[in-house]
Amino acid sequence: MTICERVFSLLASDGRDQKDLAAHIGVSTRTLSTWKTRGTNPGAEYIAGIADFFSVSVDYILTGEEKQYSVSPADEEVLSTYHALSRPEQVYILGEMYRRAGLVPSQSAGDEGKKAAEPEVSIGSAG
Torsion region of 26: left, alpha or beta (phi above 0 gives left; psi -120 to 50 gives alpha): left
Quick count: other Cβ atoms within 10 Å of Cβ 89? 11
Both 49 and 80 in one domain: the answer is no
- Distance (Å, rounded) from C-alpha 92 to C-alpha 79? 15
33 with 58, same domain: the answer is yes
Q: Are residues 95 and 46 in the same domain?
A: no
Query: Are residues 56 and 8 both part of a single domain?
Result: yes
**How many structural domains are present in the chain?**
2
Q: Same structural domain for residues 7 and 52? A: yes
pLDDT tens digits, 79-106: 899 999 999 999 999 999 988 998 887 7
State the pLDDT at residue 52. 94
Phi, psi of 76 (to 5 degrees): -60, -40
Task: Locate the DSSP E strands across the chain.
Answer: 103-104, 114-115
- Cα gap 20→52, rounded to integer Å: 12
pTM tops 0.85: no
Name the stretches of the chain with pLDDT < 50.
108-113, 117-127
State the pLDDT at residue 107. 55
Residue 127 lies in a domain: no
Is residue 123 in some structural domain?
A: no
Q: Distance between CA 97 and CA 108 in Å, rounded?
A: 16
CATH of the domain at 28: 1.10.260.40
Residue 82 lies in a domain: yes
Answer yes or no: do 96 and 44 share one domain. Answer: no
Q: What's the rounded Cα separation, in Å, for the pair 92 and 94?
A: 6
| Residues 105 and 53 grouped into a single domain | no
Q: Does the residue 12 lie in any domain?
A: yes
User: In this structure, is the dihedral angle defined by the CA atoms of residues 45, 6, 12 and 8, taken in order, positive or negative?
Assistant: positive
Is there a single domain that holds both residue 52 and residue 79? no
Which structural domain, as residue segments, surrounds residue 87? 73-115
